Amino acid sequence: MTKAEARPTTKISLVCTGDRSGGVKRAITLLKHNPVKGKAVVLKPNFNTADPAPGSTHNDTLHALVLELKEMGATRITLAERCGPLQPTSEVLKKKGIYQMAKELGFEILNLEEMDRSGWAHFRPRDSHWKDGFLFPKAYLEAESIVQTCCLKTHAYGGHFTMSLKNAVGMVAGKGYPYMAELHSSPHIRKMIAEINTAYNPDLVVLDGIDAFVDGGPDRGTRIKANVIVAGTDRVAVDAVGVAILRLLGTTPEVSKGKVFEQEQIARAVELGLGVGSPQQIELVTDDPESKALAEKVTEVLLK
């Protein structure tokens, strides 16, 4: 029995809504799980660029998530991020108004791009496709609790899709280091994305799918109103549900091909024991008829 097969069923909440603030709260509440109470949280958004959602995390989603984490009893929240390579992290944060939001809501910002070498640890995943591993932030390695929020979108530069697993790329050292060039030039890019995730384990993942890119991505693409928020503690399950939703919306040949769990990012993550190993281990939980109807369609796609 593999690690994935030995894992218990995981709950993934699915909420149909056009309201990010209410949707984030509903999705987290449905999980009936509080991994942040009494803990300092390190929060990872998806700020590859300052482009509108789903090009980057919507400010309303981040705002709602920070408030919810505080209500859940988080003692401190630190947003730790590296953007790029197209735009400097400080510029993205400024354009999006994140510095001002941090002052208003009382959370800290750690610009990973500005850290010196002492803030990083050299992480070498075993049996990986990385030549010699990569630098990973000590802030995440030493975190009491990790929460991340990602978007629902395809990836035009080899990843095929970019959700919670791909969001970890923004944790790897970028400016001044060769890792992004190595990643994006490799035929094993999707496997390498999964391998980054062996460096850490998120306690909560919130996927904002109110807007989605069904092609293109990560910064621009064909935008569709999907009006869904997904949340869970298992990033493999979250991404599998996200892929199923993209298929329902009509997406790229790469994302549409084969079984959902045969998608290379997901398959490699399963091999590494990072999450559930089959759609049968995913329990979709909802709180209204519209969400339940979508959940049933998602389950059909997952099992197909």
In DSSP terms, 79 is beta-bridged to: 43, 109
What is the average pLDDT across 129-157?
A: 98
pLDDT of residue 86: 76
The alpha carbon of residue 220 and the mean position of all alpha carbons in its chain are separated, in whole angstroms, by 17
Instruction: Render the burial of 147-170: b for 16+ CB within 10 Å, e for the rest.
Output: bbbbbbbbbbebbbbbbbbbbbbb
pLDDT of residue 84: 81
Residue 2 has pLDDT above 70, yes or no: no
pLDDT tens figures, 231-276: 999 999 999 999 999 999 999 999 999 999 999 999 999 999 999 9
Instruction: Write out the two tokens for 93.
Output: 């944060």
In DSSP terms, 77 is beta-bridged to: 41
At residue 124, φ and ψ (nearest 5 deg) are: -120, 95
Residue 7 has pLDDT above 80, yes or no: no
pLDDT of residue 3: 62
pLDDT tens figures, 79-124: 999 998 778 999 999 999 999 999 999 999 999 999 999 999 999 9
The alpha carbon of residue 210 and the mean position of all alpha carbons in its chain are separated, in whole angstroms, by 15
pLDDT tier, 8 (very low <50, low <70, confident <90, very high otherwise): confident
- More confidently predicted of 4 and 37: 37
pLDDT of residue 190: 98
Measure the CA–CA gap between 150 and 159, rounded to whole angstroms.
15
- On average, the pLDDT of the chain sits at 96
pLDDT of residue 22: 98
What is the average pLDDT across 264-292?
A: 98
pLDDT tens figures, 182-211: 999 999 999 999 999 999 999 999 999 999
pLDDT cut 90: percent of the chain above it: 95
The alpha carbon of residue 65 and the mean position of all alpha carbons in its chain are separated, in whole angstroms, by 14
pLDDT of residue 245: 98
